[in-house]
Amino acid sequence: MLEKIMLTDKEYENLAKGIAIGVGVGIIIGTIFDNTVLFFAAGGVLGIVSSLIYSKIKEYKEHHI
């Protein structure tokens, strides 16, 4: 079970980039719509989810091609 939770260095890098991009976009959109805190949080969550999905898809393609 613990092996499924652990991430590789590349996955950590993708996660950090996803969080940074998500939060950055969230701040910009939040500033436009005058609700920075909400969009900051939503961008961070979407960044985490999207980067983990991206990492799993990339891992699946590497093992099945």
55, 14 contact by CB (below 8 A): yes
Residue 28 lies in a domain: yes
16, 41 contact by CB (below 8 A): no
Element (H, E) at 53: helix 36-64
Residue 20 lies in a domain: yes
Structural domain for 17, as ranges: 8-60
Residue 2 lies in a domain: no
- Cα gap 22→40, rounded to integer Å: 8
Which amino acid type is present at position 2?
L
Residue 37 lies in a domain: yes
Q: What is the pLDDT of residues 10-65, one digit of tens each?
A: 889 999 999 999 999 999 999 999 999 999 999 999 999 999 899 889 989 988 87
Residue 16 lies in a domain: yes
Q: In Å, how far from its chain's centre is CA 24? A: 12
Q: pLDDT value at position 16?
A: 94
Residue 18 lies in a domain: yes
Q: Is the pTM of this model over 0.85?
A: no
